[in-house]
Chains A and B, each alone.
Chain A
């Protein structure tokens, strides 16, 4: 995809390259899959302004995914390109959170999903700016500025919907209850998360959860929505264990390269 080359490589981190590759893929895939989901709104958003909002957010996320993917290809060092990572990996090799692959549903469900993720990415990128991995720190410093716009947009809509009509309130509460079980995965540190935190590549997920909770609670309060009681997670998308929805998304997303290998513009 890109003809521009990065100027820095990872320095100052003790974490094994293979582990960092998987960690960077998690970040890349979460942005990439969410961008693809948001793109599904194009042509059918409730208003032109929202179409622009969702599409612009998707574009930023796609750009961030490319920065991560291109770094991942360098870490992997096996000559696989950014495009090959995006278009030729199967479902179980995708390491995104299961939350972002959940279907768009109605506008309320897309906004709830977006806000839960935006609030997370905002705190994560803020912290990653201080990563021991210099390249990740650079990408995060770029991405955090865009994440703020995304979170402002989704928080603004969540407040309008939750504190709107009886119907919009009901739909946003329903979406929140539906998606809440998928939130657990964002904060449950597995071996890789722990390894990255110990190497100072990534922040501790406990710290991110505390910041995220404060932000989410404040917006839910303004939106007159009830925070669901914690339900155990069922999915571990970041380890390649996905819900039934990702396969369909990838079939659509990867169709062209699967049907016409190597096709390009």
Chain B
């Protein structure tokens, strides 16, 4: 189990602590998409230090069964230990559920540069099922003449596409 979260209010925290925590979290990378930090991905809900010195990081899982969640948690703890915070609690925050809309603008750019097309649109209603496919732009040549190869790809968050202009296959980060 995780270190017991300390319930002391964080009002007496030294000024600048949150910015420092943020800067450390900016260096923690997703193990499966190692160009994205956990902050680019938008999964860090909060990072704060309590009056007793405990650092609490709220993290939302991307997909319920994503095996990277465990690695991400250990990476966050390790990075904070290294930066001189011995008492760290990572707390899973389920609600509101993470959405690919929370990937930052810089995160979207990094995905594209890495060869993964970022989510094409904002999330619609999950109940709509067989809607027409979205226009996904090829991360290499920017053409929207692309087609889906597989709804599921190498990780839970990705689908497989192919560009019919430059003929390259590519990963697409799904909207969820």
Contact = CB atoms under 8 A, between A and B. Distances in A.
B126 A63 contact: no
Contact of A143 (B64, B69, B99, B154): B64
B31 interface: no
A60 interface: yes
Interface in B146-171: 149-154, 156, 160
Nearest to A215: B129
Interface of A: 2-8, 49, 52-53, 55-57, 59-64, 66-67, 122, 126, 137-139, 141-149, 151-153, 155-156, 215
B6 interface: no
- Which DSSP category, helix, strand, loop or mixed, fits chain A's interface? helix
A263 to B, nearest CB: 18
A7 B176 contact: no
Given A4-B2, A63-B65, A139 B94 contact: yes
7 contacts: A3-B70, A56-B156, A59-B65, A63-B66, A137-B95, A138-B97, A215-B129
B63 interface: yes
Interface residues of B, number: 39
Contact of A3 (B65, B73, B156, B174): B73
B69 to A, nearest CB: 7
Given A56-B156, A148-B126, A149-B176, A141 B95 contact: yes
Interface of B: 1-2, 5, 58-59, 61, 63-67, 69-70, 73, 90-97, 99, 123, 126-130, 149-154, 156, 160, 174, 176
Given A4-B59, A57-B152, A63-B61, 19 more contacts: A3-B1, A3-B2, A4-B73, A52-B153, A55-B152, A59-B156, A60-B64, A63-B63, A122-B127, A122-B129, A138-B95, A141-B95, A146-B176, A148-B127, A149-B176, A151-B129, A153-B151, A156-B151, A215-B129
A212 B149 CA distance: 28
A248 B30 CA distance: 38
Most-contacted residue by chain B among A55, A59, A67 (CB, 10 A): A59
A222 to B, nearest CB: 8
A57 to B, nearest CB: 8
Contacts of A141: 94-97
A153 B152 contact: yes
B64 A64 contact: yes
A56 to B, nearest CB: 4
A197 to B, nearest CB: 21
A60 B97 CA distance: 14
A2 B1 CA distance: 7
Contacts of A7: 58, 91-94
A126 B151 CA distance: 22
Contacts of A66: 64-65
B65 A149 contact: no
A49 B63 contact: no
A205 to B, nearest CB: 18
B64 A63 contact: yes
Contact of A142 (B94, B127, B129): B94
Nearest to A126: B127
Contacts of B58: 7
B64 A6 contact: no
A53 B151 contact: yes
A159 to B, nearest CB: 8
